[in-house]
Amino acid sequence: MQNVDGAAFLADCPTRLAVEIISDKWAVLVIFGLSHQPRRHGELVDLIGGISRKVLTQTLRRLQQYGLVERRAETPRWVEYSLTDLGRTLVEPIEVLTHWARDHGGAIVDFQEAAEAATAARVRAAG
């Protein structure tokens, strides 16, 4: 995203598409969930805590439209999802973000708690 001329900020810039994809928490989790092996819909629901079947279906469809996930149906009741070659190119950047979150997530939580405490103290002092 380092672009002196500001092209990364243009509406049709590929950088915006990448940010759109990785800013969707469910998309990132689905890609990461498929990073080691193909999985069925129910397996992904079980793997990804908090995702509903409907949201998972919508996310898988969107990732298919991006060319990142492929759907393989042996029968109407046996459907498996896997990453495409293009989808696999996102695994490493997602792993980097995961490591960053693991290393720095505590500092962010500490900052949020301090900010909330400061706001509460201001409200008490004003009121």
CB atoms within 10 A of CB 61: 12
Task: Return the structure tokens found at 21.
Answer: 């994809």
Task: Return the structure tokens found at 20.
Answer: 């759109």
Task: Return the structure tokens found at 2.
Answer: 């380092």
- Cα 24 from Cα 38, distance rounded (Å): 21
Tell me what percent of the residues of the chain surpass a pLDDT of 90. Answer: 71
Task: Return the structure tokens found at 26.
Answer: 């469910």
- Cα 80 from Cα 43, distance rounded (Å): 10
DSSP state of 9: G
| 82 beta partners | 70
User: How do residues 21-71 score in pLDDT, each as one tens digit?
Assistant: 888 989 999 999 999 999 999 999 999 999 999 999 999 999 999 999 999
